[in-house]
Amino acid sequence: METGADEPRLGVYTPISREQFVDSELHHPNLVPEAYFLAKREDRYVGHSYLRRVPGQPSALHQGFTGTRREVRGRGIATELKRRAVEYARASGVESIDTSNDSLNQAMLAINAKFGFERFDERVFGERTV
Protein backbone atom coordinates (compact mmCIF):
# COMPACT_ATOMS: atom_id res chain seq x y z
CA MET A 1 0.00 0.00 0.00
CA GLU A 2 2.89 2.35 0.69
CA THR A 3 4.07 2.31 -2.91
CA GLY A 4 0.82 3.83 -4.13
CA ALA A 5 -0.16 6.07 -1.24
CA ASP A 6 1.00 9.28 -2.90
CA GLU A 7 0.22 8.33 -6.49
CA PRO A 8 -1.81 11.16 -8.09
CA ARG A 9 -5.52 10.34 -8.00
CA LEU A 10 -8.97 11.79 -7.74
CA GLY A 11 -10.24 11.78 -4.20
CA VAL A 12 -8.63 10.62 -1.01
CA TYR A 13 -6.33 7.61 -0.84
CA THR A 14 -7.96 4.72 0.98
CA PRO A 15 -5.67 1.77 1.64
CA ILE A 16 -7.06 -1.72 1.26
CA SER A 17 -6.44 -4.67 3.55
CA ARG A 18 -3.84 -7.34 2.81
CA GLU A 19 -6.67 -9.75 2.01
CA GLN A 20 -8.21 -7.31 -0.46
CA PHE A 21 -4.82 -6.79 -2.09
CA VAL A 22 -4.23 -10.52 -2.46
CA ASP A 23 -7.71 -11.07 -3.90
CA SER A 24 -7.68 -8.13 -6.32
CA GLU A 25 -4.04 -8.17 -7.39
CA LEU A 26 -2.38 -11.52 -6.79
CA HIS A 27 -5.45 -13.57 -7.66
CA HIS A 28 -6.42 -11.41 -10.63
CA PRO A 29 -7.40 -13.76 -13.48
CA ASN A 30 -5.14 -11.98 -16.00
CA LEU A 31 -2.04 -11.75 -13.81
CA VAL A 32 1.12 -13.28 -15.26
CA PRO A 33 2.67 -14.64 -12.03
CA GLU A 34 6.15 -15.04 -13.50
CA ALA A 35 6.01 -11.37 -14.53
CA TYR A 36 5.38 -10.02 -11.02
CA PHE A 37 8.63 -8.34 -10.06
CA LEU A 38 9.61 -7.37 -6.53
CA ALA A 39 12.48 -5.26 -5.22
CA LYS A 40 13.77 -6.07 -1.77
CA ARG A 41 16.16 -4.12 0.43
CA GLU A 42 17.48 -6.24 3.27
CA ASP A 43 14.34 -7.84 4.77
CA ARG A 44 11.84 -5.30 3.42
CA TYR A 45 10.06 -5.15 0.07
CA VAL A 46 10.55 -1.70 -1.42
CA GLY A 47 9.00 -1.91 -4.88
CA HIS A 48 6.95 -3.92 -7.33
CA SER A 49 5.76 -4.05 -10.91
CA TYR A 50 3.66 -6.55 -12.79
CA LEU A 51 2.21 -7.56 -16.13
CA ARG A 52 -1.25 -8.84 -16.96
CA ARG A 53 -2.65 -10.55 -20.02
CA VAL A 54 -5.03 -8.52 -22.17
CA PRO A 55 -8.19 -10.57 -22.81
CA GLY A 56 -8.64 -11.32 -26.50
CA GLN A 57 -5.15 -10.03 -27.38
CA PRO A 58 -2.63 -12.87 -27.01
CA SER A 59 0.27 -10.77 -28.34
CA ALA A 60 -0.30 -7.91 -25.87
CA LEU A 61 0.29 -7.37 -22.17
CA HIS A 62 -0.82 -4.66 -19.78
CA GLN A 63 1.82 -3.09 -17.54
CA GLY A 64 0.19 -2.73 -14.16
CA PHE A 65 1.33 -0.59 -11.29
CA THR A 66 5.04 0.08 -10.87
CA GLY A 67 6.01 1.74 -7.62
CA THR A 68 8.52 2.06 -4.84
CA ARG A 69 8.41 3.18 -1.24
CA ARG A 70 9.12 6.88 -0.78
CA GLU A 71 12.41 6.38 1.03
CA VAL A 72 14.02 4.59 -1.92
CA ARG A 73 12.74 6.72 -4.78
CA GLY A 74 15.22 8.26 -7.17
CA ARG A 75 17.60 5.30 -6.98
CA GLY A 76 16.60 3.58 -10.21
CA ILE A 77 14.52 0.82 -8.60
CA ALA A 78 11.33 1.60 -10.53
CA THR A 79 13.36 1.84 -13.74
CA GLU A 80 14.87 -1.59 -13.10
CA LEU A 81 11.48 -3.10 -12.32
CA LYS A 82 10.06 -1.64 -15.56
CA ARG A 83 13.11 -2.93 -17.49
CA ARG A 84 12.52 -6.43 -16.21
CA ALA A 85 8.86 -6.28 -17.24
CA VAL A 86 9.77 -5.09 -20.73
CA GLU A 87 12.46 -7.78 -21.04
CA TYR A 88 10.00 -10.44 -19.92
CA ALA A 89 7.55 -9.29 -22.61
CA ARG A 90 10.26 -9.33 -25.30
CA ALA A 91 11.44 -12.79 -24.31
CA SER A 92 7.84 -14.02 -24.38
CA GLY A 93 7.29 -12.81 -27.95
CA VAL A 94 4.79 -10.14 -26.96
CA GLU A 95 4.28 -7.45 -29.60
CA SER A 96 2.96 -4.65 -27.41
CA ILE A 97 2.59 -3.49 -23.83
CA ASP A 98 0.07 -0.87 -22.77
CA THR A 99 -0.02 1.07 -19.54
CA SER A 100 -1.75 4.06 -18.03
CA ASN A 101 -0.42 6.94 -16.03
CA ASP A 102 -1.62 10.10 -14.35
CA SER A 103 -0.32 13.23 -16.09
CA LEU A 104 0.91 14.54 -12.73
CA ASN A 105 3.22 11.57 -12.19
CA GLN A 106 6.17 13.01 -14.10
CA ALA A 107 8.68 10.51 -12.70
CA MET A 108 6.77 7.50 -14.08
CA LEU A 109 6.01 9.27 -17.34
CA ALA A 110 9.77 9.75 -17.77
CA ILE A 111 10.46 6.08 -17.02
CA ASN A 112 7.78 5.00 -19.49
CA ALA A 113 9.22 7.30 -22.18
CA LYS A 114 12.68 5.83 -21.56
CA PHE A 115 11.29 2.41 -22.53
CA GLY A 116 9.48 3.67 -25.61
CA PHE A 117 5.93 3.98 -24.31
CA GLU A 118 4.11 6.60 -26.35
CA ARG A 119 1.07 8.63 -25.41
CA PHE A 120 -1.90 7.80 -27.61
CA ASP A 121 -4.98 8.59 -25.56
CA GLU A 122 -5.52 11.29 -23.02
CA ARG A 123 -8.57 11.40 -20.78
CA VAL A 124 -9.91 14.03 -18.49
CA PHE A 125 -11.65 13.00 -15.29
CA GLY A 126 -13.50 15.36 -13.03
CA GLU A 127 -14.74 15.23 -9.52
CA ARG A 128 -17.05 17.47 -7.56
CA THR A 129 -17.25 17.22 -3.82
CA VAL A 130 -20.29 18.51 -2.00
pLDDT in tens, 50-87: 999 999 999 999 998 899 998 999 999 999 999 999 99
- Domain-by-domain residue ranges, the chain? 2-114
Predicted confidence band of residue 1 (pLDDT cuts 50, 70, 90): low
Q: 45-67 b/e with 16+ CB inside 10 Å = b?
A: ebbbbbbbbbeeeeeebbbbebb
- Look up the CATH superfamily of 2-114: Gcn5-related N-acetyltransferase (GNAT) (3.40.630.30)
Lowest mean pLDDT among 1-5, 69-73, 89-93, 110-114: 1-5
Is 18 a residue whose pLDDT tops 90? no
* Cα gap 4→68, rounded to integer Å: 8
